[in-house]
Amino acid sequence: MYSIDKLLLENKAWAAEKTADDPEYFERLAHLQTPEFLWIGCSDSRVPANEITGTQPGEIFVHRNIANMVIHTDVNLLSVLEYAVVHLKVKHVIVCGHYGCGGIKASMGNHDYKQVLNMWLRNIKDVYRLYQEELDAIPDLELRADRLTELNVKEQVMHLAKTSIIQRAWFHEQRPQLHGWVYGLKDGIINPVFDMGSDTKIESLYAYDDL
Ligand code: CO
């Protein structure tokens, strides 16, 4: 384990190494941010967006929360989404869950995590309810959690499509593509499970007419 001082020492070593490799590295990054991707991932420390996709600082705009949720009253998530889509003009938005997700497992149980976590996990329970028949039919709890992880990612991608932010960008600029992925902690492989693009027909109840 790293002590807090070790983190700062490692940071100095990293910065020195980067500068030695490429003297203009920080100068260049400081002036320009043009990521093509927005990543909405789980806060889990084992799923670092840049590392598992082989991307560098400057390439992915990142938002993370417990179980990679897209909640339509979450001002933090919506601000990140709006900035990434409207101002950075990202081409892709990726919701990336992961097998073995603690948030997903917690949502399947009955433990009282007290109010704030209960409130957050409640959103995942609501996803379970939508697919209850399919999920209840999977006897192995591990496999059931894995399937809920996939279905949750799909639901969160659909939540993105229900925002006027995405609908407006689709209508005017035919971007971004939305992707639902699930990362495997055991093998490091990303499983793409669901996609949506600007040609998607939005359920009429959620479609905005003043785009
Ligand atoms: Co997780």
Render pLDDT for 117-161 as a digit per residue (tens, 0 to 9).
Answer: 999 999 999 999 999 999 999 999 999 999 999 999 999 999 999
- Residues 109, 208: Cα–Cα separation, whole Å: 36
- Residues 106, 145: Cα–Cα separation, whole Å: 10
Q: Where in the chain is the domain with CATH 3.40.1050.10?
A: 37-206
pLDDT the model gives residue 21? 94
Tokens of 46: 């084992």
- Ligand 1 centroid to Cα of residue 180, in Å, is 14
Distance of CA 205 to the CA centre of its chain: 25
pLDDT the model gives residue 146? 98
The answer to whether residue 210 scores a pLDDT higher than 90 is no
pLDDT the model gives residue 160? 98
The mean pLDDT of 193-207, rounded to a whole number, is 95
Span 76-106, pLDDT tens digits: 999 999 999 999 999 999 999 999 999 999 9
Residue 33: band (very low, low, confident or very high) from pLDDT cuts 50, 70, 90? confident
pLDDT the model gives residue 1? 61
CATH topology of domain 37-206: Beta-carbonic Anhydrase; Chain A (3.40.1050)
- Ligand 1 centroid to Cα of residue 64, in Å, is 10
- Ligand 1 centroid to Cα of residue 44, in Å, is 5
92 labelled catalytic: no
Closest to 155 (Cα-Cα) out of 185, 177, 178: 178
Span 35-78, pLDDT tens digits: 999 999 999 999 999 999 999 999 999 999 999 999 999 999 99
The answer to whether residue 168 scores a pLDDT higher than 80 is yes
pLDDT the model gives residue 51? 95
Residues lying with their CB under 5 A of ligand 1, a single-atom ion: 42, 44, 101, 103
DSSP string spanning 12-51?
A: HHHHHHHHHH-TTHHHHHHH----SEEEEEE--TT--HHH
- Ligand 1 centroid to Cα of residue 152, in Å, is 11
